[in-house]
């Protein structure tokens, strides 16, 4: 079918990552005839080079830390080191299982899957290795790749990206991580657990700078306690090879040396040379511009995922792909509220949030209209058992809804589901306070924070 130019699909999707395959699955479910084109592996960055493998490394690091610290729980154990091949086997087995399942899912939905490099050849067609695939609508979902800086040569050995870090054949003795955002702090956390001497360089004044400032400060405190070093507020200037590694110089002249330099300054869109601009698609710095329904300026073309300037999260890609499929199938769709998307950084401790920061709330509503409350996890029984520290911070419009939930602590990513409901359903603190949370759980801390904000604290001081 795909080789036959007379076949016209309802939807042709270029890119089989989170956004692309979600659109394919939902579109096929709704009766659309879908073609999905992918040049590498189905599942894209998230499954093969992002979310899944990094979290596997972080879990391996967590196990290493638990072995080192077992004595404090009355358990006799010893840590003998990291088997890098074993870690990679564990990681790759997780990926392989999910990959096989995803392949089966796409096949079961009768999606026409086409392996090959695609190029947008018209507003309604994609050429794949010399074959033309035609559709009534085209969805661009070509994702992103790690970014670098001018003059910074990625060699894959001493100066590496996250892609290289996921397959590194050794645990580096020392590492400089350029970038203190999500990718940077997650690798800093995993490598420290593996035994690496880590220094994070972040040009902004805080780690995870897009998070609420309180969350950033709590993470910085935890990293100091773990021995993870960081330099904030000064930007990178240059890097050069040394006899044994890399030397990094900052704009203020300060220098750092390590075995490897991980460049973790974010990811940029994959759009160059794919025919987008030639077909009249509006672009900005490589990103495809879309409206709130993921429509480009070309009527027959939509775009989703890391290719568009929205949050670079797999679950955002899922939601955007589903939105496009449902819109094309004639269903009523609602634009995504990106503030209402849960965000989790899976370092140790975890940073999780939904909604807006206190600073943003004050900017929108006025400083006198914003109430903030912090609930320390020291008062939570399960967190005490786990020996994790941190806080839950609530941001509320005075006498109104909770507009931000910001959490730091181990396993806080597992609590962000209820936080998402609180924000998206515009819940009042008193309404959440009425809900009974199981004891002892970390989820209980979210309930206790709302009890306090509602003026009736239980296990916390007035």
- Which residues are identified as catalytic? 439
CA distance 47 to 41: 9
Residue 138 token pair: 């085209």
Return the exposure string of 47-58: e unless at least 16 CB atoms fall within 10 Å of the residue's CB, then b: bbbbbbbbbbbb
* Bridge partners, 34 (sequence order): 11
Strand order in the sheet with 246-250: 236-241, 246-250, 255-258
Q: Are 421 and 435 in contact (CB under 8 A)?
A: no
Rounded CA Rg of the chain: 24
Residue 131's SS3 state is strand
Contacts by 280-285 with C-beta closer than 8 Å and gap 24+?
280/123, 281/120, 281/140, 284/309
Q: What's the CA gap between 447 and 452, in Å, rounded?
A: 9
**Strand arrangement of the beta sheet that strand 8-9 belongs to:** 8-9, 131-135, 125-128, 118-122
Residue 235 to residue 179: CA distance in whole angstroms: 10
Sign of CA dihedral 120, 122, 126, 131: negative
Rounded CA separation 177/163 (Å) = 14
Q: Which of 154, 44, 173 is nearest to 98 (CA)?
A: 44
CB atoms inside a 10 Å sphere around CB 201: 24
CB 17 within 8 Å of CB 141: yes
Report the C-alpha gap between 152 and 176 in whole angstroms.
14
Residue ranges in 281-354 assigned as alpha helix (H): 314-328
């Amino acid at each position: 079918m795909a080789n036959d130019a007379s076949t016209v699909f309802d939807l042709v999707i270029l890119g089989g990552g989170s956004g692309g395959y979600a659109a394919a699955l939902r579109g096929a479910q709704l009766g659309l005839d879908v073609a999905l084109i992918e040049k590498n592996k189905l599942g894209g960055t998230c499954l093969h080079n992002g979310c899944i493998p990094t979290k596997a490394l972080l879990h391996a690091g967590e196990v290493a830390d638990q072995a080192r610290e077992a004595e404090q729980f009355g358990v006799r154990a010893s840590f003998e080191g990291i088997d890098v091949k074993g870690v990679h086997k564990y990681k790759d087995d997780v990926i392989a299982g999910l990959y096989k399942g995803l392949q089966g899912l796409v096949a079961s939905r009768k999606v026409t899957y086409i392996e090959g490099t695609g190029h947008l050849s018209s507003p309604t067609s994609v050429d794949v290795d010399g074959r033309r695939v035609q559709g009534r609508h085209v969805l661009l979902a070509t994702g992103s790749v790690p970014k670098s800086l001018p003059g910074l040569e990625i060699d894959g050995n001493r100066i590496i990206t996250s892609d290289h870090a996921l397959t590194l054949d050794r645990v580096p003795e020392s590492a400089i991580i350029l970038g203190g955002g999500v990718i940077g702090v997650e690798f800093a956390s995993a490598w420290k657990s593996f035994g690496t001497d880590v220094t994070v360089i972040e040009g902004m004044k805080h780690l995870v700078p897009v998070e609420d400032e309180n969350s950033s400060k709590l993470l910085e405190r935890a990293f100091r306690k773990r021995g993870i070093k960081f330099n904030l507020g000064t930007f990178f200037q240059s890097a050069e090879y040394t006899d044994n590694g890399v030397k990094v110089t900052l704009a203020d002249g300060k220098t750092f040396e390590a075995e490897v330099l991980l460049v973790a300054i974010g990811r940029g869109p994959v759009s160059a040379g794919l025919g987008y601009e030639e077909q009249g698609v509006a672009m900005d710095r490589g990103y495809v511009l879309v409206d709130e329904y993921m429509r480009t300026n070309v009527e027959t073309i939509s775009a989703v995922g890391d290719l568009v300037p929205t949050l670079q999260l797999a679950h955002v890609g899922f939601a955007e792909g589903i939105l496009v499929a449902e819109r094309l199938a004639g269903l009523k769709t609602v634009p995504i509220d990106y503030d209402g998307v849960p965000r989790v950084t899976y370092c140790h401790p975890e940073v999780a949030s939904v909604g807006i920061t206190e600073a943003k709330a004050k900017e929108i509503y006025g400083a006198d209209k914003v109430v903030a409350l912090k609930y320390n996890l020291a008062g939570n029984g399960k967190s005490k058992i786990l020996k994790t520290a941190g806080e839950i911070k609530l941001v509320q419009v005075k006498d109104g809804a909770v507009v931000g939930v910001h959490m730091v602590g181990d396993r806080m990513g597992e609590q962000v589901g209820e936080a998402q409901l609180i924000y998206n359903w515009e819940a009042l603190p008193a309404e959440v306070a009425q809900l009974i949370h199981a004891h002892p759980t970390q989820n209980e801390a979210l309930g206790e924070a709302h009890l306090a904000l509602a003026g009736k604290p239980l296990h916390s001081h007035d």
